[in-house]
Amino acid sequence: MHREVSFDARLRTIKAHNADATQTYKRGVNHLTDRTIDELRPLHGLDRALLFAERAQELFETVESASAVTAQSPWATSENPPGLDWRRAGAVTPVKNQGACGSCWGFASAEAVESRWFLKTGELQELSEQFILDCTPNPHKCGGTGGCGGGTAKLAYARLAALGGLPSEWTYPYLSVNGSAGSCRGLPLSPALEKPHVSAVAKAANVSGHVSLPSNSYDPMMMAITDGPLAVSVDAGAWHDYESGVFTGGNHTHLTLDHLVQLVGYGTDPVSGLDYFTIRNSWTPLWGEAGYMRLLRSRNASCGIDLRPGDGDGCDGGPKRVRVCGQSGILYDGVFPLV
């Protein structure tokens, strides 16, 4: 009965939205339409308290490291091409399903490694999100404990660099679809195996570190995406019934960064003329545009405020309020791995 009530309420909202000719995107019925708010909550997994504490503590350090390791692609350089889609280059694996686990941070982190490893070696393989969830402790205990309770790309990449890399999905498969992370196994990682599909947990891709982009800066994100996909933090609170088009919805005043996704490109919509970022989600291909979404893109993007960045039970010393820019807050936190 409660599912029917949830479904009917959302269906009315969807129909009212789609009847408005001024809207730039469509809402639709999908596998999430009858879920309650409590059931939708695990689809998000970014611990924003940890995210904000990291950004406040390490902003200058990460900007300096970005300048050092990406000298071949500085933040201000020649104009970007009018459009870019790393899927067309074969650099993106199929859309995945995080299930009822708040593991988006593990998915987006692994996906960015997949893409950047392909661009370096020519080898595209699915890498283990489960390994990140199981083997990445969250020492700050910020509103969660890691695993299905949330984390960040920076946390994942620091751990993978310490462990020397990331195994494949074949040797360390995803088992947390029902909402529970497992125990870390297979450490230390075995060297890369010559024979595929063997049972040993072996390193499939190297990770040596990461680069965090300057917060709320359009040009650095545009330059970073020309080198390859990256992980970005977003407010996905209004995403559940997105179907198609350039998304311009959500709360633009008070944003809550609660989800991590992969940024795979950008372009301009030929119908509306709106510029967009192309986002890959981890809510199955049944959601959105076959698992993808187009978010409004603008150099002069609007900004909002997160008034509760310290929510959770840890990360003392974080800022009381944080300025977050871009559609769904996409410009606030972009991270890519060094492979």
- By annotation, the residues acting in catalysis are 104, 259, 281
Handedness of CA 220, 223, 227, 231 (dihedral sign): positive
Q: Which of 170, 208, 169, 163 shows the shortest CA–CA distance to 190?
A: 163
What's the rounded Cα separation, in Å, for the pair 133 and 71? 32
Residue 292 backbone phi and psi in degrees, to 5: -115, 170
Helices and strands per DSSP (H, E), number in the chain = 7, 13
What's the rounded Cα separation, in Å, for the pair 277 and 293? 8
Name the one residue in this structure whose structure tokens are 């390791």: 69
What's the rounded Cα separation, in Å, for the pair 267 and 256? 25
CA end-to-end distance (rounded Å), the chain = 50
Residue 280 backbone phi and psi in degrees, to 5: -100, 125
Give the number of other CB atoms < 10 A from CB of residue 231. Answer: 29
CB 127 within 8 A of CB 173: no
Q: Which of 243, 271, 237 shows the shortest CA–CA distance to 256?
A: 237
Under DSSP, is residue 338 helix (H, G, I), strand (E, B) or coil?
strand
Q: Which of 221, 218, 217, 253 shows the shortest CA–CA distance to 237?
A: 253
- How distant is the alpha carbon of residue 190 from its chain centre? 28
Pairing outcome for strands 303-306 and 275-280: unpaired
- As a whole number of Å, the CA-based R_g of the chain is 19
For 301, which DSSP code? Answer: -
